[in-house]
Amino acid sequence: MALEREEAQTRSRADLTATRARLRRLISDMERRGPKPVPALREVREAGRPRTTLEVFPDAVRRETSEGVCTYREVRYPLALEVGEVPLAALTQVNGGLLDLLAPREELDEATLGDLWFLDIETTGLGGAGTLVFLVATARIESDEAGSAVVLRQYLAESPPEEAALLEALIEDGRFAEDPVLVTYNGRSFDAPMLDERATMHRRRAGLQGLRHLDLLHPTRLAFRGLLPSCRLGMVESEVLRMQRPSEDIPGAEVPAWYFRFLRVGDARMLRPIVEHNELDVVGMTGLLAWLAVGVQAQAPPSNDRAARDALAVGRLLSARGRASEAVRHLERSIRLGSSEQRGDAVVLEQGLLLLAAIHKRDEQREQAAALWHRTLELPARAPLRPLLELAMYYEHQRREFDLAIELAERARYHIERWLHPRDPVRGGRALMEIEHRLSRLHSRAERARNG
């Protein structure tokens, strides 16, 4: 046992060393390559005369406010369009029940689609006295004689003094008297406080932190944590919505540098990557809400090669919000799809089996739960600690088959010693103490049972 533990620790150290070396190589490659070229930058370098904002964005205007002038842009996205593979028309299924599921503490059970006010901002930094808000995008679902559409509005400060006019125009269009529902992605901790702070600096009151707020990051994490490399909006767009951004799209971390470059050079083509990035962030949020509406509202997400994962994500969200009976249907679909050879994914299948088993156990349906735990043990190349422990408890307390419970507990101890303890000595040591206590009790109960 000691030899196995020492070998596991040696392997763990070797894996850590290899990972660090690989990260150093990746960082070195990124530094050597430098930032990827963006067409706007090439155009500015090749052309002579700088372009104005209205030349670069023909749909933009200079907007007068009581605080000065800013640049304003409005774009309509008809609901007949798709964001990736998700039709915007699915937004019509959004109702108070769905919104209350996504943000249960915000009193959204009576909110409607027309109450939603999507918002994303671009700033010159992550906070502090010198940070400016220079670009804001909002969107609302509105109807007119042309039909329903997502109406995107952007407010741009072409110089730091125009920030006050930007905020004034945003407040004018906010329709705060109608009690809108703010929809952001990680906006509760950044966008709303930043806008309120900057408005205060200009002796204005925005009050975005006082609005009802649906931050889509939180339900997305509940659904997809561990199923995606990260829950960044760009990753969700690519992996869930199948929305591919243009090759010239810039990362959010590079946005401040592009704005400062524009201030220095004075050519509005420097703004194009920023404005388009900001626009796509809001469009991605509308597509994500449409995807959630399709998945949760008694329908399955689109059937594709990731359908098993998507069904599991919806099931996890419903289960986390206390709607286990609805989650069961999605989890069963995920397991069915995940079991097929074409769409098989051991991680997705394992998580679906374990979550469905947990729901059955909570509902006192222990035989159904035990069958799912046994299926989990059949999956290849897994470390099945949890189902082993659950089955050991099941056969001890429900079936009173102590010898089988001992066998399962022994297997669980093996996995703790071989995998858990070398990686997490504190948690592994606690688990070893618990399993040894369980085995001692099981041996005593088995001996008493044999003696009649």
Residue range 220-245: mean pLDDT, rounded: 93
Q: What is the SS3 assignment for 137?
A: strand
The answer to whether domain 46-296 and domain 300-380 are alike in fold is no
Confirm if 385 and 416 have CB atoms less than 8 A apart: yes
Q: What's the pTM value of the predicted model, to 2 decimals?
A: 0.84
3-state class (DSSP) for residue 329 = helix
Q: DSSP secondary structure string, 435-449? A: HHHHHHHHHHHHHHH
Output the pLDDT for position 34. 47
Instruction: Please name the fold of domain 46-296.
Output: Nucleotidyltransferase; domain 5 (3.30.420)
Confidence bin at 31 (pLDDT 50/70/90): very low
Does domain 300-380 bear CATH number 1.25.40? yes
Percent of the chain with pLDDT over 90: 68
Quick one: which of 394, 332, 329 has its CA closest to 361? Answer: 394
Give the per-residue SS3 of 356-399.
Answer: HHHHHHHCCCHHHHHHHHHHHHCCCCCCCHHHHHHHHHHHHHHC
Q: Using pLDDT thresholds of 50, 70 and 90, give the confidence band for residue 405.
A: very high
The confidence score (pLDDT) of residue 402 equals 93
Q: Edge-to-edge strand order for the sheet containing 116-123?
A: 60-65, 68-78, 147-156, 133-144, 116-123, 181-184, 212-215
**144 confidence band (pLDDT: 50, 70, 90):** confident
% of the chain residues with pLDDT over 70? 86
Token readout for 241 is 């919505």
Torsion, CA 215, CA 217, CA 221, CA 227, rounded to 10: 150
Mean pLDDT of the chain: 87
Q: Which of 132-146, 353-367, 371-385 has the lowest mean pLDDT?
A: 371-385
Domain boundaries, the chain: 46-296, 300-380, 383-452
- Identify whether the C-beta of residue 99 lies closer than 8 Å to the C-beta of residue 181: yes
Taking residues 442-451, what's their average pLDDT? Answer: 90
What residues contact 324, with CB distance under 8 A and at least 6 apart?
Answer: 318, 359, 362, 363
Give the Cα separation of 387 and 29 in Å (integer): 42
